[in-house]
Chain A
């Protein structure tokens, strides 16, 4: 009895030690030239593009680790800087503003140029894709027609404006501060909706819980719900081309080559179609949509 109890304790102890050791093993920051960790922001389109990068790299023999749906830029840029991820799909204009809040660059070329200077040591962006997905201010067709609102500036007519968007939109320069400083829409009440312009945001807009909502321009629901995207003559929202942001140490010529080919093929229409597959009725997994796009384009 006593022997068997002791043996059980010993076995349990050994099993536990193994469990704990295994839990602590597998350092994700281990640097190895052929291993690359691909991350994505916390919304589906970004995960689809990240999957496209990941699968293309795997097809060329890279070992890829995935760290999808991390969250907002404020969360994943530090992870990129400390080496927890190596590569993430980005959007040029907002990326520039993240590092240089004062930047006045708005066109794709201006942004591209400014971005190279603004990026911190150790990070670089590769070739931009023609595909673009920007934040956009949207109102319902009904409100647009009844109050004659077609541009962001017109929102001031509403008095207090209820703006819906992800939490970070309240502090981003093209969000609430931009509304006030650039377009003089002073009286803003921000409603935080943590689904990155997804169904809850659209529903809040349709139900009248908010007057205007930030929805990414490649979101199929904008067309599906007949929303009106407000004009932005002052270019509050800069050009937002999809661009791979990468840790310099990982950016070998071969790897750049693979990603450049993807960027050249990817278009805004592709983004809309991919988003429709994942967020629309089909509910395809991002990895599946990514794989089929790569096959269709002959990239893998």
Chain B
């Protein structure tokens, strides 16, 4: 571990770059997915298209996407923007599903009540639906955050510097310490960002006391609870 100490400035620098390359796609994916998910929750047919489209999108391996993007959108070959854009697409694909589910789960009775109270549709969206969908949206961002941070490492294979560079460099010079330092740093970053998201959720949504429940349930749903009704998840997330 003396290596980690001797090279701390490099590792810290890579950590910060990695955080940057992860946070931008997470934010972009979230900001795009929420309105689209909201719209889709009102249009069941579109919702179906988004859900199956999202599934296909996940199966595109990220490395070719990183490399082929310059030819499609005209960025430079070495531009970190390729990684950021590709990861934003994945983040959007995961998030839009969750957002559609979250908004679908908001009870129609609540919406009617809001309308009856005299809320405009924009007011209703921001003041009623968004807060009610909030806990599930938060759970979605936490899932996106973990997966994005892990995927950024693949960028190292195309010369985009990040903590994944420690993997390729360690592999090239038969140096497991360097790889381990990278793995630990990636996991630390994931935990740190997750804690920040939880904190953000507490500040923005003081009414929802978030435990591990919401995210655990969402992971479960993303990974097998396909037959469960979206509303169950949303209700669980909102309640816990």
A and B touching (Cβ–Cβ under 8 A): yes
Q: Which A residues lie at the B interface, using CB under 8 A?
A: 2, 5-6, 8-9, 16, 19-20, 23-24, 28-29, 39, 42-44, 67-71, 75, 78-79, 82, 84-85, 195-196, 198-200, 278-279, 283, 285
Question: Does B165 make an interface contact (CB < 8 A)?
Answer: yes
Interface size on B, residues (CB 8 A): 32
- Other-chain residue from B77, B169, B173 in contact with A84 (beta carbon distance below 8 A): B77
Q: In the assembled complex, which residues on chain B have CB atoms less than 8 Å from the CB atom of A24?
A: 81
Contact present for B171 and A70 (CB under 8 Å)? no
B168 interface residue (CB < 8 Å to A)? yes
Residues of chain B touching chain A, judged by Cβ–Cβ distance below 8 Å, are: 3, 7, 10, 23-24, 27-28, 31, 76-79, 81, 84, 126-127, 131, 156, 158-159, 161, 165, 168-169, 171-175, 177-178, 204
Do the beta carbons of A71 and B172 come within 8 Å of each other?
A: no
The answer to whether B3 touches A196, judged by C-beta atoms less than 8 angstroms apart, is no
| Minimum CB distance partner of A66 in chain B | B161
Judged by DSSP, the binding face of B is helix
Q: Which of B76, B79, B127, B165 has the most CB of A within 10 A?
A: B76
Tell me which residues across on chain B come within 8 A of A8, comparing CB atoms: 204
* Residues A2 and B127 in contact in the complex (CB < 8 Å), given A28-B78, A82-B76, A198-B171: yes
Given contacts A8-B204, A69-B161, A279-B174, 15 further A-B contacts (CB under 8 A): A2-B127, A5-B126, A5-B131, A19-B24, A23-B84, A28-B76, A39-B78, A69-B165, A75-B77, A75-B158, A79-B78, A84-B76, A85-B78, A199-B171, A283-B3
CB–CB B159/A283 < 8 A: no
Residues of B within 8 A of A199 (CB): 171-174
B27 & A16 in contact (Cβ 8 Å cutoff): yes
Contact pick for B31, options A16, A44, A78, A79, CB 8 Å: A16
